Amino acid sequence: MPRLFSHSLTICTCLLLNYDLHIVAADGTGEPAPACPAPKLQQTDWRSVEIPSIGVRLKMPKRYAEKHWAVKLGSPIVASYQAGHLESFTLEVLPSNGGSSEQQKIAPQSDYQGYTECTEAISGHHAVIQSFRGGGVIILGDVRFPPFAINAVLELTLSRFLRFDAATATRAAQEDLLAVIRSLEFTR
């Protein structure tokens, strides 16, 4: 089955020419949030979104809106959300090669900074969560820096897994996304 995205392509590589750097509170120097423990965030004003095609419900900050792609290759089971140009996440159901979620996770690359990973159960499904900076570059005028990234893999069945890929320009938004993945509830 062709994949709509690969991790290296979904990590935010943003080119925003003539963008007012004062509008974006981007963080070019901060450390990434650790994969575990889960960040303790107030989520009372977040909204709940059900994604029937994937069979999940999750909570997210209201600033996120679904991203609809004009072109899709094959018949992917995927949903993408973004908040502006510098925050995005994608959920995608993929076939398993028969391995565990440990074998489905992305391999750490040489440009990953502050890499951490952990395993935990999310709604009864084994998950591997990875947090780091890297996997691309954010370009804001003359300023370039690696995105804050998250990758998580959850076992759905022996033949399918759910991948969560996210990238953003700030640690605070990365912490939000670490909480989003942990809010997953399976509806089927």
pLDDT string in tens for the chain (188-residue length): 444 444 433 333 343 333 344 334 566 678 999 999 999 999 999 999 999 999 999 999 999 999 987 777 777 899 999 998 899 999 999 988 777 777 788 898 998 999 999 999 999 999 999 999 999 999 888 889 999 999 999 998 878 899 999 999 999 999 999 999 999 999 98
- 7-186: CATH class: alpha beta
Q: Which residues contact 188 (CB under 8 A, 6 or more apart)?
A: 55
Tokens of 101: 């979620």
- Order of strands across the sheet that contains 113-122: 65-67, 77-83, 87-95, 160-168, 148-155, 125-133, 113-122
Residue ranges of domains in the chain: 7-186
Q: Which residues contact 84 (CB under 8 A, 6 or more apart)?
A: 63
Specify whether the CB–CB gap between 135 and 6 falls below 8 A. Answer: no
Rounded to 5°, angle at Cα 104 from 5 and 162? 60
Instruction: Give the number of other Cβ atoms within 10 Å of residue 143's Cβ.
Output: 12
Token pair 């509170």: residue: 25
Reduced to 3 states (helix: H, G, I; strand: E, B; else coil), residue 51 is strand
